[in-house]
Chain A
Amino acid sequence: MSTHGDDEKGGVSRRGFLGGVAGFIGVTAVGSTAEATPVPKAEIYEASGLSKLTLQVNGRTHSLLVEPRWTLLYVLRDRLGLTGTKPGCERGECGACTVLFDGVTRYSCMTLALEAEGHEITTIEGIMAGEALGPVQQSFADEDAFQCGYCTPGQIVAVEGLLRQNASPSIDEVREGVSGNLCRCGAYGHIFKAAMRAAAMKQVS
């Protein structure tokens, strides 16, 4: 069923507007000291049911239907098929789910998909240089900066975010910059080296 012409096929837009105190609209009595406050209207996404959402991911616009409780991690992987972003702890402790939000790193497991509207999201898939590996990806390969590779997409996105803020970090700044990304295989030494190499590569290109 579609309530509005622009809804996605089969979807129901439940994004409504919730008024504050609807009964008081426009009852300003002349000379009254009690000021009639305009009814606040906030966008509200209902708990059960799907709301329409537009996401900008890796330069592409996606329209989809989401529940308020869905995380960005879930939506990226299970709704948009962008499985490069990994679920690890799903409680903000490991960094496997790291994405860029307007170029700044954050954990997608603790971000509601709804909060991502209006922001440019970049995932590991989005930091390729066309079909080729991006500089950070290439330096991870060159430095063997992984063993099992599970933490790697998150590490690469964290380094990408760091280098966008600080193009030539010191080794301590690199350590700090990836301190929100755990590696169970303990490839840290190589990860730090890869980050330094990526900084150098980016400076050249």
Chain B
Amino acid sequence: MSLPQFAYAAPKTLEEALALLAQHRGDARVMAGGTDLLLKMERRKLAPAVLIGLKRIDELRYIRFEPEQGLFIGALARLSDVVEDAIIRAKYPAIAHAASRTATVQIRNMGTVAGNLCNSSPCADNAPTLIARGAKVELVGAQARSRWLDLEKFFTGPGATALAPDEIMRQIHVPCPPGGSAAAYQNISARSKVDISAVSVGVHLTRRDGKCHDARIVLGAVAPVPMRAREAEALLVGTGMDEDVMRASGEMAAREARPISDVRASSEWRREMVAVLTRRALRQAWDSIASAHGGIVNR
């Protein structure tokens, strides 16, 4: 890989990193795993004068679960850390699954979940489930200025986010899963399992008294940013989630999607896959609520 010249800074604290970012405003870029960033630099799409490596900032390397508050994923938590984390696997299996569907073993050992979000690819595998689960992200700027943003609002376009040039994403927060809820993630690529997703769907369902109380459906790779399929969600609320309802919701999600045709897939195929994957994800999430509560699977 032949990279353009850059200076490399290796701060040990978040404060140092923020000071460097402010100092080199517009001319510096933070790097976590580098799996997206170095490729863009190699293709000369980006040529920052200074790379600020986050790797040595130990305070950003954590995955923490607080029973009252939920899950916190630090900026340096790698995809493989999320895949393997016992608490995430137990309480947020769809989040671990989405991380496991991202790239290959080696890339997961290098890349971070935060980097996957900050890169803001419309097909980022970790975004749909996190949005469906109601995740927020914490962005910090110089003078320890901090703000929390719904992940849904974080993405502003392909490759574009709400991050100001002097801000760093410190962590991702996912609330405690409500009782009687479950999430699911489904993705598909046109070729193999390790290829970038051509369509992905993350859903989150809450069941109350045998009926769907709350539904969130988030589609990836079929719009400039990950998008909620709100009309498809609305069809589910208050129903008993039978096969017909799920199919109708999937078809509605397909109508709401705004896919394009590109090297990975045609827009027609993507639309069809939205219907299929939405139905599958809904079924999977609903069944796992039913089984977790010892209930009879509601077919």
Contacts of B105 in A (CB 8 A): 105, 158, 161-162, 176-180
Residues of chain A within 8 A (CB-CB) of B239 are: none
Interchain CB contact under 8 A, A40 and B109: no
Chain B residue with the shortest CB-CB distance to A107:
B106
Q: Which of A67, A91, A104, A110 has the most CB of B within 10 A?
A: A110
In the assembled complex, how far is the CB of residue A123 from the closest CB belonging to chain B, in whole angstroms? 14
Contact partners of B35 in chain A: CB under 8 A: 92, 110
| A194 touches B (CB below 8 Å) | no
* Proximity bits, B78-106, A CB within 8 Å = 1, else 0: 00100000000000000000000001111
* Cβ-defined partner of B34 (8 Å) among A47, A95, A112, A180: A112
Q: Cβ of A156: which chain B residues have Cβ within 8 Å of it?
A: none
B15 within 8 A of A: yes
A91 and B1 contacting across the interface, CB-CB below 8 Å: yes
* 3 A-B pairs with the lowest CB-CB distances in the bound complex, closest first: A180-B104, A20-B19, A40-B16
How many of chain B's residues have a CB under 8 angstroms from any CB in A? 40
C-alpha gap A92/B33 in the complex (Å): 12
Contact B10 A180 (CB under 8 A): no
Asked whether any CB of chain A lies closer than 8 Å to the CB of B148, the reply is: no
Count of residues in A whose CB is under 8 Å from the partner chain: 42
Supposing A44-B8, A95-B104 touch, asked if A20 and B39 sit within 8 A by C-beta, the answer is: no
Evaluate contact between A45 and B107: CB separation under 8 angstroms: no
* A46 contacts B by Cβ under 8 Å: yes
CB-nearest residue of chain A to B104: A180
- Say whether, besides A69-B4, A110-B110, A180-B105, A40 and B20 are in contact (CB < 8 Å): yes
Within 8 A of B (CB), among A1-55: 18, 20-21, 37, 40-48
Distance, CA A84 to CA B13, complexed state (A): 36
In the assembled complex, A71 has its CB within 8 A of some CB on chain B: yes
- List residues of chain A with CB within 8 A of the CB of B164: none
B19→A21 contact, CB < 8 A: yes
Chain B residues lying within 8 Å of A44, measured Cβ to Cβ, are 7-10, 50
Alpha-carbon distance A111/B51, docked complex (angstroms): 13
User: B115 → chain A, closest Cβ, in Å?
Assistant: 12
Q: In the bound complex, do residue B107 and residue A69 qualify as a contact, i.e. CB atoms below 8 Å apart?
A: no
Select which of B8, B17, B20 is within 8 A of A112 by beta carbon: B8
Q: Does B53 contact A (CB under 8 A)?
A: yes
Contact of B104 among A48, A90, A111, A179 (CB under 8 A): A179
Other-chain contact of B17, A21, A42, A95, A111 (Cβ < 8 Å): A42
Query: B80: which A residues are within 8 A, CB to CB?
Result: 104
Evaluate contact between A40 and B13: CB separation under 8 angstroms. Answer: yes
Minimal Cβ-Cβ distance residue in A for B37: A110
A68-B8, A90-B1 are known; give 20 further A-B pairs, CB within 8 A. A18-B9, A20-B19, A20-B23, A43-B11, A44-B8, A45-B9, A47-B5, A48-B5, A68-B51, A92-B35, A92-B39, A104-B80, A107-B110, A109-B1, A114-B10, A158-B105, A179-B104, A179-B105, A179-B194, A180-B103
Among residues of B, the one whose C-beta sits closest to the C-beta of A95 is B106
Please tell me if the beta carbons of A68 and B104 are within 8 angstroms of each other in the complex: no
Residues of B within 8 A of A68 (CB): 5-8, 51
For residue B192, which residue of chain A has the nearest CB? A179
> Do the beta carbons of A91 and B42 come within 8 Å of each other?
yes
Partner of A42 from B20, B42, B103, B106 at Cβ < 8 Å: B20
Is residue B258 contacting chain A, with contact meaning CB distance below 8 A?
no
With most chain A CB atoms within 10 A of its CB, the pick from B6, B52, B103 is: B6
A109 to B39, CA, bound (A): 10
Closest Cβ neighbor of B57 among chain A residues: A42
* Complex: A135 Cα to B104 Cα, angstroms: 24
B73 CB, nearest partner CB in chain A, Å: 19
Please give, as numbers and ranges, the residues of chain A lying within 8 Å of B6 by CB-CB distance: 47, 68-69
Tell which of A37, A47, A162 touches B7, judged by Cβ atoms closer than 8 Å: A47
Docked complex Cα distance between A98 and B106 (Å): 8
Query: Assuming A69-B4, A176-B105, A180-B194, is B9 touching A91 (CB within 8 A)?
Result: no
- Residues of A near B22 (CB, < 8 A) are 20
